[in-house]
Amino acid sequence: MNPFTAPKCDWSHDAVAADVTTLLAASSFVKPFSGLRDPRADYLFEIVTTDYCNGCKLILPLPRDTPGHGAFFVDLWAADSAVKTLTDSEMTDSEFHEVAKLLAPGLAVYLEGATSAAQWVAFQFTPENVGCHMSRADDHSIFRAGPLAQELISNGSLNSFQTALRGAAVKPPSAYAHHAGTREIPSEIHFCIAYVISVALRRLSYARQIGALPDSPIYHYHWIGNPVRRQVAGIFHFNAVAEHRQPQ
């Protein structure tokens, strides 16, 4: 896999990077979304507010070209003219499939043991989050993860995670419900798992772009990407990106 081209950014010194998933999770600590919070909202709120109050600038990686609406902390940084976006950070299909093949087993093990993962999916599928988060990435990013979701379901790698999703009564957002039952996404459970795969693996493409910046800033990635970041060091060769210590 070829490394990404280093983005042009002349002020990564004294800056931190955080993706919208992290910022929305931190925002939910103050104002829950439809009564739900990210399961680790308190931890992420502390991290993000500390950076903001210390005057750090924000580098915001995006899969396309807009952060969407409703990201409270993005608005705070933007009001201070202290946010820089890294747009079009989504992986190509070839990059995604190469990464997914290598990282899927570790991701499956993580999801089987992460008791809060199903609760996070329920939080992600709230109306507030769908309007901001899911609108930024096109449907294709989920569809291309469909075959991998089917494989992990078929070989029994995600039995406990499926049970947790059903126990939390997680269903795809109404705007995406029609995708369940297609060849790529045969069921609602398939949709949920394909969505998690797409979001978790996107942390890698973000990390690579951020790591290519001058003065490689700390990247506050979302905890759903924990298994991805743990595995990549021994597989890929790219500029190291500093990061905070994530709770497991």
> What phi and psi, each to the nearest 5 degrees, are found at residue 36?
-115, 150
Domain ranges of the chain: 15-90+205-232, 93-200
Residues 34-67: pLDDT tens digits?
999 999 999 999 999 999 999 999 999 988 766 5
State the pLDDT at residue 244: 46
d(CA 204, CA 195): 15
Question: What tokens does 39 get?
Answer: 């399961």
pTM listed for this prediction: 0.86
- For CA atoms 24, 26, 30, 35, give the dihedral sign: positive
State the pLDDT at residue 237: 36
State the pLDDT at residue 45: 95
Comparing CA positions, the residue from 242, 245, 150, 137 lying closest to residue 200 is: 137
State the pLDDT at residue 135: 58
Q: Which residues of the chain have pLDDT under 70?
A: 1-13, 65-70, 132-138, 231-248
